[in-house]
Structure 1
Amino acid sequence: KFWQGANAYLVQNHDKRVIFINPYEGDKALIGTTDIAYEGRAEDVQADEAEIAYLISAVNRYFKEKLHRNDVLHSFSGVRPLFDDGKGNPSAVTRDYVFDLDETGHAPILNVFGGKITTFRELAERGLHRMSHLFPEMGPDWTEKAPLPGGDMPNADYESFANSLREAYPWMPRRLVHHYGRLYGTRTGNMVKGASDLQGLGRHFGGLLYEAEARYLVAREWAQTAEDILRRRTKHYLHLTKAEQSAFAEWFQAEQIAAAA
């Protein structure tokens, strides 16, 4: 937890790496990243204390208000597979993706090395280009201007859409409207359904988490565990106490057992 505001910052550390400091979840900041080689199991990866200290130090070089270790609410880490082009410095290794189409077996397989989630659409499109000779009836490209699910807002104007949500659900707290609009867009109505007050959203688990959202995520976004909802589909875990998270997990497990019975 660092500051409230709409400004994002990009600063350069003493080793020339750039660090971003982005507004996050209303009253928090998302700070990153580090970039080190990792050779362990992907399941075990986590940000270590040295990486956290590195980011804190980088931020404190630029801001008057100092960040301390106990200000860090959570850290996460992931493994990004990069195509090894022989360069020793992880920061210098290409971030681009490399295709390898293997047609020697019974069925062709396209191997993708590298890439990053922010370019997933382009990667998928170019992957299809690479295999176009295998699909002679493939149609033209169409995804560049296609909205993501829930993103089909008139004129791609989120502010106007958010205003329409507030008018449609005047009983809903402004923060909750923003949460639903930001995560679900035009599909918000599918989740809220016929609710006419907060009680209509079902059980309240704390923060902005209501039963209606949890059920929607199971039904429409393949959530299978409480962690899927608290950490992967949303960031509710940052706003719920440990006791509230445990209560939600117990409810979720009971509901799943009941559904399977």
Structure 2
Amino acid sequence: MRLSEVIGRAGAQSTRKVRLVKGSHLVTPKFWEGPHSYLVQNHDKRVIFINAYEGDKALIGTTDIAWDGAPETVAITNDEIDYLLCAVNRYFEHPLRRQDIVETFSGVRPLYDDGKGNPSAVTRDYVFDMDVSGGAPLLNVFGGKITTFRKLAEHALQKLQPTFPKMGVDWTAAATLPGGDIEGADVPRFMAKLQAQYEWLPRNLLRHYAQTHGTLTPRVINGATSLAGLGQQFGPTFYEAEARYLMANEWAESADDMLTRRTKHGLHMSAEQKAAFGVWLDGPAAKSA
């Protein structure tokens, strides 16, 4: 369904347009020493990021391709793979090959169409369109990025302030996300306290819990006093206790929800391990308290 149809069903009209732009990424084994990330320029002057990712992996992206298909069918193309590999191999001595790719993923950005021809030149900013012709206000948001979601949400509520005069003031700038209320933002100190509290936790598992769940880690561990207390092990740092936590608190329902979206455990698990987790998830054990 096109944007104009969605707005039309709400009984409103808008001359604003969005432009769909596909961005694709590669995940490979990490191929350099140290915690550094890199920003390199490809032959077309676009910049490509090469980030350390998930400990022993590298995340490489992204492309900018005009997209006019259904968003749910988006996938990387061979040309995009070649483009990203070319960008990396212009700067690193050890060449990356197709067989080095662990995973690819693509997404569609609904960017505000400012009339510029080159997808890379289209604004990443957001634009509001308020329609009050129908009585109750309709606020349409065009464009934006996940990196600006907080400011976008605040600005949207500011636009609605006249309709909700008792709304209150902006408050999100100093707020933390769930699990992020680490004292003094001192992560090493926080991890040391966790290790003292859970001496039996292996270091890699402690790091995963601390980085993924933060101060909510005790809720994930849920009173366990040993690895056995965490239940069945599905992957290197993926235990039953975390799966149950994700289902109970983060609306996870499918294997992909837990292995790809809520966490990146899937990058560190074999096909056999993923299949075994799927069997557990579909079986009676996952449904029990």
TM above 0.5, yes or no, is yes
- Tell me the distance in 2 between the aligned counterparts of 1:258 and 1:187: 23
Q: More strand per residue: 1 or 2?
A: 2
Runs of 4 or more off by more than 6 Å in structure 1?
none
Matched with 1:35 is: 64
Would you say 1:194 and 2:211 are equivalent positions? no
Question: Is 1:153 paired with 2:182?
Answer: yes
Q: 1:238 aligns with which of 244, 248, 267?
A: 267
Return the offset for 1:106. 4.8
Q: Which stretch of the first structure deviates more once superposed, 73-82 or 166-175?
A: 166-175
Pair 1:61 & 2:75 matched: no
TM-score with structure 1 setting the length? 0.96
Going from structure 1 to structure 2, the CA distance change for 1:87 and 1:251 (only over 3 Å counts) comes to same
Segments of structure 2 that go 5 or more residues without pairing to the other structure are 1-28
AA at the equivalent of 1:86: G
Q: Residue 82 of structure 1 aligns to a residue in which SS?
A: strand
From 128, 135, 139, the counterpart of 2:168: 139
- Identical pairs, percent: 58
The one-letter amino acid of 1:218's match is: M
Partner of 1:22: 51
1:51-102 per-position Cα deviation (integer Å, ceiling 9, x unaligned): 1111111000000111111111000000000111111100111110011122
Q: TM-score, normalised by structure 2?
A: 0.87
The answer for the alignment partner of 2:110 in structure 1 is: 81
- The superposition leaves residues 144-178 of structure 1 with CA deviations (integer Å, 9 ceiling, x where unpaired) of 01111100011111111111111111111111111
For residues 167 and 103 of structure 1, the distance between their equivalents in structure 2, rounded to whole angstroms, comes to 57
Give the whole-Å Cα distance in 1 for the aligned partners of 2:96 and 2:216. Answer: 38
Alignment pair present for 1:2 and 2:30: yes
With 250-259 and 40-49 compared, the bigger mean Cα shift is at 250-259
Give unmatched runs, 5+ long, in structure 1: none
Q: Does 1:207 align with 2:236?
A: yes
Contact 2:30 2:52 in 1 (8 A): no
Give the whole-Å Cα distance in 1 for the aligned partners of 2:194 and 2:179: 13
| C-alpha distance in 2 between matches for 1:43 and 1:97 | 23
Distance 1:101 1:249 in 2: 45
Larger RCO: 1 or 2 (CA < 8 Å, sep 6+): 2
Conserved 8 A contact 1:2-1:67: no
CA offsets 1:155-212 (integer angstroms, 9 cap, x no match): 1111111111111111111111110000100000011021111001000012211000
What is the root-mean-square deviation in Å for CA atoms of aligned residues? Answer: 1.5
2:100 to 54, 71, 75: 71
